[in-house]
Amino acid sequence: MNMDVFCYFVVIFTLTNIGDVIAETKNTTFCNSLLREYNDTDTINDVVDVGITLTEALLLVICFGVFTFILAKTYNLLRVKVFMDKDNLDTDFDAGGEVSVGLTATTIVSQWTWAATLLQSSTVAAKYGISGPFWYASGATIQIILFAMLSIQLKIRSPGAKTFLQVIQARFGKKVHVVFCFFALMTNVIVTAMLMLGAAAVMTTLVENLSLELAAMIIVAVVGGYTFIGGLGATFYVSYFNTTLIFIIILIFVMKIYNEPDVEDNPLGTPDKVYNLLNCAIGPEDNKDNSYLTFLSRGGLMFGVINVVGNFGTVFVDQSYWQSSVAAKPRQGVWGFITGGLTWFAIPFTFATTMGLAYVALSTANGEELLTEREINEGLVPPTVAYTLMGKVGAILMTLMILMAVTSTGSAEVIAVASILVYDLYQIHWRPYRAVDDTRSCLLCGKHRDRADNIDNQCECYSMSQCKRCWIDDSDRASSKAAVLPTFKCPMHGPYRTYLEVLIGKKNWCIFWVAILIIPLTLLLQAAQVSLGWVYLFMGVVIGSSVVPIALTVFWTRLNGKAAVIGTVGGTLCGLTAWLVTASTFDGGLRSGVFLANTGQELSMLNGNIVAILTGAILTVAVSLATNHHMTDEQKEEEWEKTRDIDNPLLPWADRYASEIGHHDSTRLSNRPELKLVEKTFKVAKIAAIVSAVLLTVILIIIWPASMIAVNVMNATEFNIWVGVSQGWAWIGAVFIISVPIITEVYTIVKQVIRNRDNQDGEQKLNKDRCLSQYTQTNQACMYDNEEINKTAF
Ligand SMILES: [Zn+2]
Ligand SMILES: [Zn+2]
């Protein structure tokens, strides 16, 4: 058995030819009579003319739009009437950093559910059999689970950071920052490209007479509208709705394919029927016994490796996941990522085990493939199964599902690009608020914070949450009906708040243009004949190299900027070289007619991906060790002080997490808890994150698949168990993701309502009201309890 496993891994790197998918069937008496039966009853519908009309499609989109709008309004109403924090600037960007476990999990599930999650996972099921869905699911779940470690580490070492690029800038300076901005933007472009390729292929297939241009425009309109209506806050609510609907539709398909025995016109309906057809189908050549029912699939395993590498890139380098981490409370973030990852597992695993295998079964029953190989690579397996089995209803369900998957991820990507353009490029490089090079000095007053050598030149700024002048500004602006709102008059925070308003304006324009630019991108890719499957396998070659440098940015003190850049750029170059060299060994080499086919071969992609991530890691570590010989304790400490300097001067992180960390007098910008105290506070959460992430990763990509090798080719009972596991997982995931967020959210709202009624919300509100009424009577700001603050403010 050990030897078997070994040979199996060796074989991957030596064989070069990939078996094609052919709907041939095994020539046994049982299979012959089974297929004759299917041919006689002719249960497979003629599939062409059950499409959705254009009017119906538009109606569907409009209904979805209206519903989203209502959800967003509800959210805003809750913020204004119940939580009364609409004016807090931070809510716009990260929902105040107070998002609960359930909602964090929901956001992650919906962001991580790409069009590819549904389409590509079914493609690999159709190509490699039962191992495809598993590899897709496990190879993309572990990154989310491992991200829990990064999430808590970020909260410890850089609690004020909003993007991972800020951390890179604080540690390594502006030049390194630009390099990583480039990689981050590239990741967003690749992910967006995949969304559009998948969604456009499905929409143009299912909707009659829908041109690619119109499909792209419809999708962009939905994504853009959703982003504008939402802002990040409402996105949490809409994500919840999306995820719920996706799970419900998956379960409908599961019921149809595996749990509908004794229905006349359903050719499938029980695991046994599916099993018999799969067992009669002749699978890819390099699968054990040419069977779809085995884990011993060379293609499947190769895909598994590529999938693991590629998805590390799209999680770790994609700003939108860091965004979810920033938005969550520190401890909640950890469990949000872990439960989110485990819930998400069910989406590709169950969906592809259902739809992808149903496709193989239907093709077998049909006597010939329902799709060409190119159509399979475009992601058309699930829609084909949906309308073959369920006609128009199936087509509508599939369209809805794809719309759900595209809108939340698409909007997260658009926001991520806009944030990088505005908060990283514009704010840091082009038009900074204050041109300071060291992160130590206060952004508001330019003086030193903390660690100051000169006491006279110490910053005395404090959090906006305590600033009475800002309350007056807010109330003036809230009551103003003028087209141009009154200017901010607070001498301490006013100018910076004005600057932020400019940034928000820029960001809105960025969102608009980025969304529009998606249309030409889609048309360009389509003209280049690139398929979803190709881009999916390719992503790791380009961005894989930056994964390790980025992870080490929050973990390793000795990492330096030079090493990070050499690792990232060098890794990508090596990856591209390995990819092209492997592709050139196939028939026709890199000539234009066969370029996409040869570079798209699993082996080319596998080599490119592995070389990219490994050289990225090796170069980064080696250069760091070689150039950063010795660091004194002070230097080590200073390295993380730099990242702790990153802060929002209006609401410093020390103030935001004051109750969690147990730190007093945290409203002053110059006073923040020591790193040791923060570390101690989150020590348990950090250990829990590391232990569960590593453990689950080992189970998902080593123990489970290794034990499947022992199963060899599945028999009917084993297949029943396998399908049972996939269904059970989907049911548990659905119950969790549908019930937990709504329960915690309702609980929080009820608690807040009770608190509002009892007016226990504390002195602050009381003070605020008193202060404001005094101001209206005397037209003079109220006196402060604190002399010193008074001096600074006026
Ligand atoms: Zn200051
Ligand atoms: Zn102020």
List, for residues 306-321, the tens digit of each pLDDT value: 999 889 988 899 988 8
Instruction: For residues 362 and 43, give the distance between their C-alpha atoms in angstroms, rounded to a whole number.
Output: 10
pLDDT at position 726 is 96
Q: Is the pLDDT of residue 408 over 70?
A: yes
CA–centroid distance, residue 463 to ligand 1 (Å): 10
**pLDDT band at 9; cut points 50, 70, 90:** very low
CA–centroid distance, residue 471 to ligand 1 (Å): 19
CA–centroid distance, residue 471 to ligand 2 (Å): 8
Average pLDDT over residues 274-303: 92
* Two structure tokens written together for 377: 């690579």
CA–centroid distance, residue 784 to ligand 2 (Å): 13
pLDDT at position 42 is 59
CA–centroid distance, residue 457 to ligand 1 (Å): 10
Ligand nearest to the CA of 440: 1
CA–centroid distance, residue 148 to ligand 2 (Å): 35
CA–centroid distance, residue 494 to ligand 2 (Å): 6
CA–centroid distance, residue 330 to ligand 2 (Å): 27
pLDDT at position 584 is 94
What average pLDDT does the structure give for the chain?
A: 84
Domains of the chain, by residue range, sit at: 2-427+686-750, 456-491+758-793
**pLDDT band at 171; cut points 50, 70, 90:** very high
Task: Return the minimum-mean-pLDDT range out of 7-16, 231-240, 451-460, 679-688.
Answer: 7-16
Ligand nearest to the CA of 793: 2
**pLDDT band at 18; cut points 50, 70, 90:** very low
Task: Return the minimum-mean-pLDDT range out of 409-413, 710-714, 779-783.
Answer: 779-783
pLDDT at position 777 is 53
CA–centroid distance, residue 423 to ligand 2 (Å): 22
CA–centroid distance, residue 345 to ligand 1 (Å): 47
CA–centroid distance, residue 444 to ligand 1 (Å): 5
**pLDDT band at 771; cut points 50, 70, 90:** low
Ligand nearest to the CA of 466: 2
CA–centroid distance, residue 130 to ligand 1 (Å): 60
What are the φ/ψ torsions at residue 99 (nearest 5 degrees)? -80, 140
CA–centroid distance, residue 792 to ligand 1 (Å): 10
CA–centroid distance, residue 382 to ligand 1 (Å): 57
Ligand nearest to the CA of 461: 1
At CA 242, angle to CA 238 and CA 246, rounded to 5?
Answer: 170
Q: Which amino acid is at 371?
A: L
Average pLDDT over residues 187-204: 90
Instruction: For residues 664 and 689, give the distance between their C-alpha atoms in angstroms, rounded to a whole number.
Output: 27
377-411 CB burial, b ≥16 within 10 A, e <16: bbbbbbbbbbbbbbeeebbbbbbbbbbbbbbbbbb
What are the φ/ψ torsions at residue 292 (nearest 5 degrees)? -80, -10
CA–centroid distance, residue 442 to ligand 2 (Å): 15
CA–centroid distance, residue 473 to ligand 2 (Å): 8
In percent, the amount of the chain with pLDDT more than 70 equals 87
CA–centroid distance, residue 669 to ligand 2 (Å): 13
Ligand nearest to the CA of 471: 2
CA–centroid distance, residue 508 to ligand 2 (Å): 25
* Two structure tokens written together for 32: 């012959």
Average pLDDT over residues 486-512: 89
Average pLDDT over residues 466-482: 83
Strand-pairing partners, residue 287, are 297
Greater confidence (760 vs 297) lies with: 297
CA–centroid distance, residue 469 to ligand 1 (Å): 16
CA–centroid distance, residue 667 to ligand 2 (Å): 12
Q: Which amino acid is at 333?
A: G
CA–centroid distance, residue 674 to ligand 2 (Å): 26
Q: By the 8 A CB rule, do 95 and 75 touch?
A: no
Average pLDDT over residues 173-199: 92
How far is CA 550 from each of CA 140, 635, 646, rounded to the nearest angstrom? 18, 21, 17
Q: Is the pLDDT of residue 183 over 60?
A: yes
CATH for the stretch 2-427+686-750: 1.10.4160
CA–centroid distance, residue 460 to ligand 1 (Å): 5
CA 42 to chain centre: 43
Ligand nearest to the CA of 494: 2
In percent, the amount of the chain with pLDDT more than 90 equals 41
Tens-place pLDDT, residues 601-651: 989 999 999 999 999 999 999 999 999 778 888 888 888 988 988 888 888
CA–centroid distance, residue 735 to ligand 2 (Å): 45
Name 140's Cβ contacts closer than 8 Å, sequence gap at least 6: 112, 117, 307, 311, 344, 348
Predicted TM-score of the model (pTM): 0.87
CA–centroid distance, residue 495 to ligand 2 (Å): 10
pLDDT at position 24 is 63
CA–centroid distance, residue 163 to ligand 2 (Å): 25
pLDDT at position 329 is 82
State the DSSP H helix or E strand holding residue 765, giving kind and residue range, or none if neither. helix 763-778
CA–centroid distance, residue 248 to ligand 2 (Å): 48
Q: Is the pLDDT of residue 256 over 90?
A: yes
Ligand nearest to the CA of 444: 1
Ligand nearest to the CA of 463: 2
- The three-class DSSP label of residue 684 is helix
Tens-place pLDDT, residues 71-114: 877 877 887 777 766 544 444 445 455 677 888 888 889 888 98
Greater confidence (694 vs 67) lies with: 694
Tens-place pLDDT, residues 648-671: 888 888 888 887 888 777 777 777
Ligand nearest to the CA of 448: 1
CA–centroid distance, residue 158 to ligand 1 (Å): 19
* Two structure tokens written together for 302: 């190769």
Ligand nearest to the CA of 460: 1
CA–centroid distance, residue 448 to ligand 1 (Å): 7
pLDDT at position 786 is 40
CA–centroid distance, residue 443 to ligand 1 (Å): 6
pLDDT at position 592 is 84
pLDDT at position 49 is 55
Average pLDDT over residues 439-467: 76
CA–centroid distance, residue 446 to ligand 1 (Å): 6
CA–centroid distance, residue 485 to ligand 2 (Å): 17
CA–centroid distance, residue 491 to ligand 2 (Å): 7
State the DSSP H helix or E strand holding residue 422, giving kind and residue range, or none if neither. none
Q: Is the pLDDT of residue 760 over 70?
A: no
**pLDDT band at 14; cut points 50, 70, 90:** very low
**pLDDT band at 787; cut points 50, 70, 90:** very low
pLDDT at position 702 is 93
pLDDT at position 765 is 58
